[in-house]
A and B are shown apart, each in its own frame.
Chain A
Amino acid sequence: MKLLATGWGKAARLALLIGTLLALYILAQARHDERAHIREQAVKLTPGCADKLARYGLAAGASYTSPYALAHSGQASIKRGYSTEDVRAIQRGCNIIDDLQGQLAADPARERWNSTRFVRGTHTSCDHCHQGIGDKQTAAGAPQAGSLSLAASWVMADMYDQFTGILLPYELRQMQCYINSSNGYKPNVADDLIRDVTAYSRFLAAALDLRFGNHYAEQGIDEVTASSTLKRGDDYVRGAARYKEKCAHCHGPQGLGTVVDGKMQYPAVAGPNAFNQQSRNNFSFVSTILPGFLCRNMPLGEEGSLSKQDCRDIAFYVSNMPRPAGDKDGPLAALWQQLMMRVMPPLIQAVDTWQGHDAPRDTGT
């Protein structure tokens, strides 16, 4: 049999190709082993997760009885138990929801499955929208209605998305969160990041004794439509005033969030660290979601103090502050938004200082 082209050049190129493939294969093997090792390691819980999982009685065993369900209904609901691997997956999932950026982790990349790779900006964490580590409860200990509960969302797995009409399983809905609400990229559906969060959500549903296929009040958001207000129209100026009064203290006068000692204290609602223009949080994209979120969940500790009209006005104002372009906006819009995010904040701050309205404060971007 005759070789097509003999010569050292050809042989060297072929050797280079095969060598590269071999090197990549060895690298892949090493990375796989590392992942397997991390899966076997004990999990260091965040304080919030340690408290929550202890309250819900998470432990390996043949059966699982939820203390929460027992206390609330007086009936023990006995479910199939969790293996030690399951428990670790649930613990890691809880950590990811509570602290996506790994601020509380010794080695964020290892302990959070490289989650920051899928998020642009340094503020976003699941817990900002899915409050109470995905399980927000009222003072009385009941699930808070319209709080984007992960447990209630899990039992509505395989739901039709109301905006696109596409059948979206729970994993895919998680992946959507990363694109626009976190202004990032989809992780692969087979990634441990997705699997562990699913395991945690599933455990929450069992702990709260939610039944599969049911709709619960805590699932999703109570949307605030224009028709549910006094129909005065959404007003940017009114929103600005209410924002200064109610929100600016934590989120900053320009919505850039508050950072102390390099750690995010309150997340950005505008600027490069915030959700992007095609997030459903963006009022200009879907006008009912952010007002619904604000009415139910903001300001922290005074939930429910805002009127529906206030919520719409504030949401309108917030969505008009510069933020990253969405994934489908294209490169030119992305460039424009980057420019706006760089230019507008110092300009507005300069004008404010000049007018003496606001003393300059640390916006902490």
Chain B
Amino acid sequence: MRQAVSTWLTLRAGPIGNELLIGLTLAIVVLPQAVAFSTTLAGLPSYFGIYCAVWGVLFTALLNPSRVFHGGPNSTQSAVIGVTLLPVAPQFGPDYIGYALTLFLLAGMIQLLFLAIRPLGRFLDFVSEPVANGMICGIGLYMIFKSFPPFAGLPVNTQVEWRLWIAWQSFLAVLEIGNMHAIHIGLITLLVTVITRQFKALRNWAILLGIIAGTLYSEYLNAHLGIGETLVEQTANISPAGFVYPSLPLLSQEAMPDIISIIPGAITLALLGLFQTVAAMRLMNRKSGQFVDARHGIFADAVSNCVLPFISALPTCASFNRMSLMQAMNTSSRLAAASSALFLLALVGFFGEYIAIIPVPAMAAIIMVVGANMIDWSDIKAHFQHRPEAIVFSASFLSVHVFGLFGAVICGSLLALVYAKWEKAHPNVTLEGNVLRIRGNIYYGSLPVIESLYHRANNDRRFDELIVDFSAVHHIDPEGIRWLAEIGRNDRVRFAERRNGQDRRDDAGGRPGERKRKDRRRRQAL
């Protein structure tokens, strides 16, 4: 029996079968996120999230050549929508929906600007890997914290500031006033998912099995105690939703002052989407071994986000958690993402009433698992090998919880830039006898370091001449040229510029241990 099952599973897990399985899993994973993000974070009806998870995912899968890419609704973008539109109109109302669509369209057009103006798009590359990983780990933890109240059947705390403290308050609330039936359902889902993940054949089915176990237990409770006794919330029935739901952004003259007031929000929304897409694509390029230019991602996002406001959908951007899942399940083509959209459409269309009975605590448990998956210890360990990287990583991780995601991106990028400049400002300069070797850049930032060593060498009366060797300099700025011209007037100085390879061979040969730590060698030399 066991052999038969595993043979069947191996057969099923053929190339296309595996892609379709990934698609189905993604559809199941994105469904609770779509409903939760649009209703609890963005203040919009649940079909906005669903249509984004269907059409947003399909459009980006078709337009973006990356194998490991999954668009769809995003927690931080949804939070930005809610925060931006809160002062403009009451949530869930027709005005609010109109303004929301306008906001999405503006964001899409700003993203098109990033595509059209190349330097702007290039600016996005300053999100380095430690920044992106710090953000991902931060968001993973944030999603776990955010799931505490629904896990225990409690209303979500809508206070968004001081996240860590609110997470702690929510945790205490779970312990003290959580609905025990909800906690049971959540725990069953969590345990089934975690335990089935340990078996290779069931690994990709773990989330589905967890949800099924949680739902079955919740149905058992409802049958025995009645839903009036258990009070466990279930997913809303979404079967009345059709294929598309056409909509028009609100662009009337009376709305103009409010639309102008939401433009900063639109810029934030657009930037957040692109940052996440570019960062996620860079990460997946490295993990999957396939190289796709991030501009493809910007193109796919920008075009999709200009179309989605007309079919009642949230804006789309790359999803770290679902892409990590795809990567973990070894996806090999875009079929997985495209099929997830179609599966979701089918799920919503044909199995709406079955989706409706999935209890919310089970969904929260799944979001916890997804969040925990985003925290990858091997990545974190790699960053802690190198002190500056560790600082950048920790800063962007912490700032997710202190300044929010946008603050994390800005903070992490600034730190990475400062670090790069700092490294450049300390070039590898050595003085061996009367030879002053300069490696790296000669520019205004590094000149003070070079000059101090030059003056020390110049004052050394043991040698008649001073040889300045800048064979390994790769950039000299105008100030550096003026400095070189000035020291050239000194009779003792002779310039050496050897590009015959002798230098490099020497370097490669001796003292391998010190080659790795250039900075230490420099410090010794100085």
Contacts and interface: CB of A to CB of B under 8 A. Distances in A.
Interface of A: 1-5, 10, 14, 17-18, 21, 24-25, 27-29, 31-32, 35, 114, 117-118, 164-167, 179, 185-192, 327-328, 330-331
A338 to B, nearest CB: 14
B472 interface: no
B111 interface: no
A245 B320 CA distance: 61
Contacts of B195: 14
B312 interface: no
B169 interface: yes
A264 B202 CA distance: 61
Contacts of A331: 402-403
Contact of B194 (A14, A28, A185, A189): A14
B180 interface: yes
Given A4-B203, A164-B87, A188 B177 contact: yes
Contacts of B165: 185
A35 B187 contact: no
B29 to A, nearest CB: 19
Contact of B183 (A28, A164, A192): A28
Which size class do B's interface residues fall under? Answer: 35 or more
Given A27-B175, A185-B166, A165 B187 contact: no
A31 B176 contact: yes
Given A1-B2, A4-B198, A4-B199, A188 B90 contact: no
B183 A188 contact: no
B410 to A, nearest CB: 13
B202 A1 contact: yes
B155 A185 contact: no
A3 B194 CA distance: 13
A14 B154 contact: no
Contacts of B169: 117-118, 185-188
A362 B2 CA distance: 80
Question: 5 shortest A-B CB distances, which residue pairs?
Answer: A327-B161, A188-B173, A4-B200, A28-B175, A31-B175
Contacts of B183: 25, 28
B436 interface: no
Contacts, number: 99
Nearest to B155: A189
19 contacts: A1-B5, A2-B6, A2-B200, A3-B200, A14-B198, A21-B190, A31-B175, A32-B180, A35-B177, A114-B176, A117-B172, A167-B90, A179-B159, A185-B159, A188-B155, A188-B170, A192-B177, A328-B161, A331-B402
Contact of A190 (B177, B190, B203, B403): B177
A31 B158 CA distance: 24
Interface in B104-120: none
Contacts of B159: 179, 185-186, 327
Interface in B136-186: 149, 154-155, 157-159, 161-162, 165-166, 169-170, 172-178, 180, 183
Nearest to B170: A188
B285 interface: no
Nearest to B399: A331
Contacts of A192: 177
Nearest to A120: B165
Nearest to A32: B180
B268 interface: no
B191 interface: yes
A21 B191 contact: yes
A27 B152 CA distance: 14
A192 B177 CA distance: 8
Interface string B5-28: 110000000000000000000000
Contacts of A10: 198
B230 interface: no
Nearest to A22: B187
Nearest to A6: B198
A118 B187 CA distance: 28
B91 interface: yes
B200 A188 contact: no
Contacts of B161: 327-328
A331 B180 CA distance: 36
Contacts of B202: 1
